[in-house]
Amino acid sequence: MDSPVQAFTSITANYLPKARVLARSIKRLAPEIRFHLVLSDDPPQGFTLADEPFDSLIGLDELGFGQDPQWLFAHTLVELCTAVKGPAFQYLFDHCGAAKVFYFDPDTVVFGRLDELCAQLDRHSAILTPHQCAPEETLQAVIDNELASLKHGVFNLGFLGARGDAEGRRLVDWWAERLRRFCYDDFSRGLFTDQRWMDLAPCFFPEVGIVRDPGFNVATWNLTHRQVTGSLATGVLINGAPLGFYHFSGFDSGAQELMLNKYGSDNSALLELRQWYLDQCAREGQAELGGCVARWSKFDDGTPIEPRQRLVYRSRTDLQRAFPDPFATADPRSSYLQWWRVNGPSDAAAGSFLAPADAPYGQVLREFLDYTAVRVRCSPRLGRWGRACLLAPLALARRLTRLLPG
């Protein structure tokens, strides 16, 4: 039976334990909410939906990407799991009878107040939570938190709620289209997967609501203005009010522990939350599943895909034409991996500029010339003489950079 309120998360198989913890937290509070698992991967061995806390499993085929190897190859796993979030909203509105949909990152746990979020969608077409809701008061916190928001996005897209009416769909359709084309971790272009796009949402869509209540989307990046008290037994409080949901972001990388030690190491409630979450993930199979290798992280012969291999492929239409299925390796003549082994950039010039912004002019120019030379050597369109004609002046220009500082 369709439910007017539905929720989902988006993962690869190694995040299944975290997704289970999230789903159980929502089902405990509101069993009538249908919870969907969007899985951009093969299910792990032994996975049976009937034994899981999810009401449905939505794969890439349902979202329209399963037969598009070029699009899949162009995205890292993080980019992939975030790019499908917009299409997943569309799918739940179009095919599952949803009137209101909530997305939660898999490393989130809902502790209460879901009714308040639903009420927010009675008043707004969509709701967002900012990374910070108040100015920081120390230089270190400005560096850690406000500068991070300027870089990664004002709103944390570990949560998004949207309504299925005309205005809500207008936002979701706009966002989904941007994610299909531009869901990349590319700071030089102002992109950070799905997040930076939502900086524009309040400008484009006047019915968007901003949830500033400190009890929602609590995380290490906003602890400076959130007083966390109580306990799991008596109820965790944020600034004296019940906790809505906590975002355990950065567990696998170690960033969560690092920032918690910086901003909450003396807080017993926060330390209890962290240990409880570790125990819950362990109970849901973290040790067995946390190391799962995702299907789209490797070529079809099992060779891991390097991020720069994706970057070069998605930036060159000639390679896309030559290798329509970049994952395929059986035929060396049509294998992108084989082409890379022969023509790919060396480790010494890996396709990006490494010089910091304040580097001397000579260093910056040398790196630019080295990068350009690599691209010339790898271009199949120039031919032998074309490459020779371009490489000679590049080599001369590089020698001349010795006259510049650095």
Which tens digits make up the pLDDT trace of 222-239?
A: 999 999 999 999 999 999
Q: How far apart are CA 303 and CA 35, in angstroms?
A: 34
Amino acid at 33: I
Which of 46-50, 138-142, 374-378 is predicted least confidently? 374-378
Which of 30-44, 157-171, 230-244, 379-393 is predicted least confidently? 379-393
State the pLDDT confidence band at 377, using cuts at 50, 70 and 90.
low
Q: Alpha helices of 284-360 — where are they, by DSSP H?
A: 286-289, 307-315, 317-322, 336-343
Strands (E), 42-193: 56-58, 100-104, 108-110, 126-128, 159-163, 185-186, 191-192
Q: How far apart are CA 145 and CA 154, in angstroms?
A: 10
State mean pLDDT over 332-339. 94
Quickly name the fold that domain 5-289 has. Spore Coat Polysaccharide Biosynthesis Protein SpsA; Chain A (3.90.550)
State the pLDDT confidence band at 37, using cuts at 50, 70 and 90.
very high
Q: How far apart are CA 371 and CA 339, in angstroms?
A: 19
Tokens coding 378:
């790898």
What is the overall mean pLDDT for the chain?
90
Tell me how crowded residue 316 is: count the other CB atoms within 10 A of its CB: 16
Whether residue 53 has pLDDT greater than 50? yes
Q: How far apart are CA 204 and CA 225, in angstroms?
A: 29
| Residue-level pLDDT at 360 | 60
CA 397 to mean position of chain CA atoms: 40
Which tens digits make up the pLDDT trace of 260-310?
A: 888 888 899 999 999 999 999 999 999 999 999 999 999 999 999 999 899
| Residue-level pLDDT at 251 | 81
| Residue-level pLDDT at 385 | 67
| Residue-level pLDDT at 353 | 46
Which of 89-98, 154-163, 365-374 is predicted least confidently? 365-374
Helix axes 383-400, 361-378, angle to 10 degrees: 170
Tokens coding 279:
């125990």
Q: How far apart are CA 345 and CA 138, in angstroms?
A: 43
Tokens coding 263:
């901003």
Residue 295 or residue 253, greater confidence: 295
Question: Where are the chain's structural domains?
Answer: 5-289, 300-403
State the pLDDT confidence band at 372, using cuts at 50, 70 and 90.
confident
Among candidates 156, 138, 151, which has minimal Cα distance to 263? 138
Decide: residue 218, CB within 10 A, 0-12 exposed, 13-18 middle, 19+ buried: buried
Are the beta carbons of 196 and 152 closer than 8 angstroms?
A: yes
| Residue-level pLDDT at 250 | 86
| Residue-level pLDDT at 27 | 97
| Residue-level pLDDT at 263 | 84
State mean pLDDT over 37-48. 96
State mean pLDDT over 396-404. 70
